[in-house]
Amino acid sequence: MTIENNHVVAVKYILHTIEEDGSKILVEETTEENPLTFLYGVGMMIPKFEENILGLKAGDKAAFAIQPEEAYGERHADSIAQLPLDMFNEAGVPPVGAILPLSDNQGNNFQAIVVEVTPEAVVADLNHPMAGKTLDFQVEILNTRPATEEELSHGHAHGIDGNEAH
């Protein structure tokens, strides 16, 4: 059975970023025991990732790169925020490297990374951590099957076998 819209796909992958000097840095690796399982075609994955695996079937392997503009976008130097220290009274001032859960005025949730702490503010980078990075994938399709009605109504996969873990 080949991958198509509204299928549950289980994939094992290795993800590297390709740096400016051509070197690769390992970002993440999944296994057969703990694959990435997702509902294909509903916007859960980077569209270019889905495009590259469309039509594959269990046992197929593929390798492909996704450029920043088709992944998480380019880095924007103006996406640095100075957050006042009094925002952090209850939890305390976060250290450099901490990931901050934030939301905008429209209720959209996102994350920022603390890049500096000054006496006046916490400086946070609002760019996605993978912004500006070329993503290099090596994938193996482990399984694909039509989604159940329940999965389609919930908008996500319930695991490789269709049973949601409780």
Structure tokens at 158: 């319930």
pLDDT for position 163: 64
Query: Among residues of the chain, what percentage have pLDDT more than 90?
Result: 70
CATH of 7-72+131-154, one of 1.10.600.10, 3.40.50.300, 3.40.50.720, 3.10.50.40: 3.10.50.40
Q: How far is CA 30 from the centre of its chain?
A: 13
CATH of 80-125, one of 3.40.50.300, 2.40.10.330, 3.30.56.10, 1.10.357.10: 2.40.10.330
Taking only the tens place, the pLDDT of each residue in 48-99 is 999 999 999 999 999 999 999 999 999 999 999 999 988 887 778 999 999 9
**Average pLDDT of the chain, as a whole number:** 91
Q: Is the four-CA dihedral 2, 66, 17, 5 of positive or negative sign?
A: negative
pTM for the model stands at: 0.80
pLDDT band at 105 (very low <50, low <70, confident <90, very high): confident
Taking only the tens place, the pLDDT of each residue in 30-49 is 999 999 999 999 988 999 99
* Fold equal for 7-72+131-154 and 80-125: no
